[in-house]
Amino acid sequence: NSRLYRKAEDQRQIAQTLARLAFSASAYVHTLRNHVGAFGNYLMLAEHIQDLPPEQRHEVEE
């Protein structure tokens, strides 16, 4: 009986550890996607800044 309990407890701890790892990985990917998206927006702005009139370009470049 104690052997079965110990095995079940070990499996529960392993499952908890894997769940924490999965949650951390998901949060990390979400953060990374936010940074990549912000960088993409910056690049898009940099590509189109030359199309702006000079007064607007000056405001963006400050």
Q: Which domain holds residue 49?
A: 2-61
Mean pLDDT of the chain: 93
Q: How far apart are the first and last CA of the chain?
A: 72
Domain count, the chain: 1
| 52 C-beta neighbours (distance < 10 Å), count | 14
Give pLDDT tens digits for 41-53: 999 988 888 888 9
* Single-letter amino acid, residue 35: H
The answer to whether residues 16 and 28 touch, using CB atoms and an 8 Å cutoff, is no
Percent of the chain residues topping a pLDDT of 90: 68
Tokens representing residue 40 in the block: 């993409």
